[in-house]
Structure 1
Amino acid sequence: MTKTLVVTNDFPPRPGGIQAFVHNLAARRPEGSVVVYAPAWKGAAAFDAAQPFPVVRHPTSLMVPEPSVLRRAGEILAAEGCDSVLFGAAAPLGLLAPALRRRGAGRLVGVTHGHEAGWASLPVARGLLRRIGDGVDTLTYLGEYTRSRMARALSPRAAARMARLAPGVDETVFRAGAGGDEIRARHGLTGRPVVVCVSRLVPRKGQDALVHAWPRVLRAVPDAALLLVGGGPYRAELERLAADRGVAGSVVFTGSVPWEELPAHYDAGDVFAMPCRTRRGGLDVEGLGIVYLEASATGLPVVAGDSGGAPDAVLDGETGVVVRGRSVPDVAAALVDLLTDPGRARKMGARGREWVEREWRWGIQAERLGALLGR
């Protein structure tokens, strides 16, 4: 059995989507087949003690491809008898690949997310990404958007070796009936049509487009409510916008919620919407959008923006609709269509649940990773 050293800057208890992605991959490896090397973080000791695999923490909260990180990774590789390395985010730690190969790693896999696609468009970063691709055996990609963006920066040989590996969804956790009634009652939303958005509050995610669209939604569905789940630096601006648009009474901000309550917050909605859009000339872009799939698993129709790889997480017209994230009329029309046609909304939600069960379960992603590491 192959034993894998996971070298990653992104790992719990630090919060975030990449962190959850890497942890879920590690947790689904066979017993005794993985060891993780990750930065220090508040609460790490308690978190690490609960894991079914050893976690070695770097002294600082950031790891970069420099001699001390290489030395420690090499020591762990030898001490634990690892024969493969998985970089939790290929950029930038994947630059260590050639040196770790010289230290005994027989197979090296770099996982990519969204930021590597941004690297592919910047001259210096593009060269570094090409070096990473040549140094590992396989670079993974989330979907067709990120694959095509990165492939242009890679050597032909590295591009040919790319393989798809996306985050999975725990369909036993994200499901209809996961506690939405309690969340609705908590926020005074019982009996009202609810559009829910679960995401960090930052401009790219498009919560402002939802607020701008909300007066149009209320004209068609007067008792509708918008439930914005998550914290972030954009909250104060969004609250001002809701007040300016005269819709503050029907927009609920939950702030950050514990991970274990996320399934219930999805379940509190009738429609899920996150009309994300690309910013900063393509550097700030959605890599995939696992929230759309978590919503689909919960049985909700989704309204997705057209940023980057977000459309890869939606079967447009079947599990939801893809709209121009910068178009308030398009966002409003999609929301109104789904809120006023509950039969269509239920059909899309059911199709989304079926799609997640067939294509996006964590077990499927774990099998893909096992094949990449075992080649």
Structure 2
Amino acid sequence: MTRTLIITNDFPPRPGGIQAFVHALARHRPPGSVVVYCSTPARSDRGTWRDPEAFDIAQPFPVIRERTSVLLPGPAVRARARRIARLEECDSVLFGSAVPLGAMAAGLRRDGVRRIVALTHGHEAGWASLPGARGLLRSVGANTDTVTYLGDYTRARLARVLDPAAARRMRRLAPGVDTERFRPGAGGAELRERLDLGERPVVACVSRLVPRKGQDTLIRAWPRVRADIPDAVLLLVGGGPYRSRLEALARERGVADSVRFTGSVAWDDLPAHYDAADVFAMPCRSRNGGLDVEGLGIVFLEAAAAGLPVVAGASGGAPDAVRDGDTGHVVDPLLPGPTARRLIALLGDPAAAAAMGGRGRERVAREWTWAGAAQRLDAILG
């Protein structure tokens, strides 16, 4: 049986989509086949998750943490990774992100690791346009057996950087969704009661509050939405450094009374926050000349699994998660008008919105399962 060492900076209890992706891949490996070597989340990351020690003990595999918030491929980390691989008899390595940790691939290969795979996400696709990062990505591609990609957008960006042989070895590996957790009836009614939402129409956005995610576009669109749907509520789920600016924008636009900020939400409570909504919207956008893009957006898939129609911004690979016009809509994220029009149409026709959400859930159950992702990883690891 292949025994895999996962080396990653992106792992719970630090929250985030990549963290959830890597963790789920680890949990879906055969028993006894995984060891995780990762960083330790800073204390500021621990608010809505268990402490690392309690989290690690609960996992069905060993978790070895370096006492640093970021693993970098320096001499000490390289030496420890090679030592863990030897002591744990790991014959394969999976890097949670290709850059920068994939720079350790050549040394691990010399120590006898048979198979090396590097995951990529949105940030690698952005970095592919930077000269220094391009060289590192090309080196990672040359020294690993497979570089994975999320969808057509990320593959196209990365394939231009890798040498032709590495580009031919690329394989798609995208996250799945647990449709038993994210589903209609997952506690939304109780949450609505707790938040005193009653039967009001709700648009939810689940994400960190940062400029790229587009919560400001939602707030700019909200006066037009309220003009047509006066009792609508915008539920912004998540914490982040942009919150004070978003709160100020809501006051400036005169909609503060209908915009609710939940702050950070525990992982176990996320399904209820989707289930409390009628529509999901995150008009994410690309920033910094394309360096900061949405790789895929697992929140769009979680929302679809919850039976919600989705409004997504046209950033990076986000359109891969939405079948435009069928399971949701893809909008220009820089303009509030397109977002407002789509939200008004969906909130104004609940039957059509529910049908669109139902098609989204069917698609996720068919195409975006963790069982499918686990099978693809099995094949990639050989």
TM-score by length of 1: 0.98
Kept in 2: contact 1:210–1:328 (CA 8 A) = yes
Shift of 1:182: 1.4
Kept in 2: contact 1:114–1:146 (CA 8 A) = yes
The residue aligned with 2:53 is: 45
**Larger CA deviation: 84-93 vs 39-48:** 39-48
Which residue among 198, 207, 218 is the counterpart of 1:190?
A: 198
* Counterpart secondary structure, 2:273: helix
Distance 1:152 1:344 in 2: 41
The residue aligned with 1:350 is: 358
Distance 1:149 1:234 in 2: 29
Kept in 2: contact 1:3–1:83 (CA 8 A) = yes
Alpha-carbon deviations, 1:94-113, whole Å to 9, x = none? 01111101101100000011
The residue aligned with 2:123 is: 115
- Does residue 161 of the first structure (1) align with residue 169 of the second (2)? yes
Letter in 2 for 1:119: W
Kept in 2: contact 1:7–1:38 (CA 8 A) = yes
Shift of 1:40: 2.6
Letter in 2 for 1:165: L
Kept in 2: contact 1:134–1:158 (CA 8 A) = yes
- Does residue 289 of the first structure (1) align with residue 292 of the second (2)? no
Distance 1:194 1:36 in 2: 39
The residue aligned with 2:324 is: 316
* Counterpart secondary structure, 1:349: helix
Kept in 2: contact 1:325–1:331 (CA 8 A) = yes
* Counterpart secondary structure, 1:91: coil
Instruction: After TM superposition, list the pairs within 5 Å mapping 1:257-296 onto structure 2.
Output: 257-296=265-304
The residue aligned with 2:46 is: none
Letter in 2 for 1:297: A
The residue aligned with 1:8 is: 8
* Counterpart secondary structure, 1:10: coil
Distance 1:39 1:329 in 2: 42
Letter in 2 for 1:261: D
- Does residue 34 of the first structure (1) align with residue 34 of the second (2)? yes
How many aligned positions are there?
Answer: 374
Distance 1:70 1:220 in 2: 59
Distance 1:57 1:63 in 2: 10
Distance 2:217 2:233 in 1: 15
Kept in 2: contact 1:187–1:252 (CA 8 A) = no
Letter in 1 for 2:139: R
**Larger CA deviation: 5-14 vs 306-315:** 5-14
The residue aligned with 1:307 is: 315
Alpha-carbon deviations, 1:14-65, whole Å to 9, x = none? 2221111111100110001111111133522211111101111113222111
Which residue among 59, 65, 70 is the counterpart of 1:57?
A: 65
Which residue among 96, 111, 115 is the counterpart of 1:103?
A: 111
How big is the alpha-carbon RMSD for the aligned residues of Structure 1 and Structure 2? 0.9
Letter in 1 for 2:6: V
Instruction: After TM superposition, list the pairs within 5 Å mapping 1:49-88 onto structure 2.
Output: 49-88=57-96
Distance 1:44 1:83 in 2: 27
- Does residue 126 of the first structure (1) align with residue 134 of the second (2)? yes
Shift of 1:216: 0.6
Alpha-carbon deviations, 1:243-263, whole Å to 9, x = none? 111111111111111111000
Shift of 1:188: 1.7
Instruction: After TM superposition, list the pairs within 5 Å mapping 1:204-215 onto structure 2.
Output: 204-215=212-223
Letter in 2 for 1:34: V
Alpha-carbon deviations, 1:271-306, whole Å to 9, x = none? 000001111110111110100000000000000000
Distance 1:339 1:57 in 2: 46
The residue aligned with 1:230 is: 238
Identity %: 66
Letter in 2 for 1:232: G
Alpha-carbon deviations, 1:48-83, whole Å to 9, x = none? 111101111113222111111111111111111111
Alpha-carbon deviations, 1:305-353, whole Å to 9, x = none? 0011100100111100000001111010000111111121011101000
Distance 2:309 2:375 in 1: 28
Letter in 1 for 2:127: W
Distance 2:53 2:202 in 1: 39
Distance 1:248 1:56 in 2: 45
Distance 2:189 2:208 in 1: 23
Distance 2:55 2:260 in 1: 32
Shift of 1:222: 0.9
Letter in 2 for 1:123: P
Letter in 2 for 1:36: V
Letter in 2 for 1:293: L
- Does residue 370 of the first structure (1) align with residue 381 of the second (2)? no
Letter in 2 for 1:152: R
Distance 2:280 2:339 in 1: 12
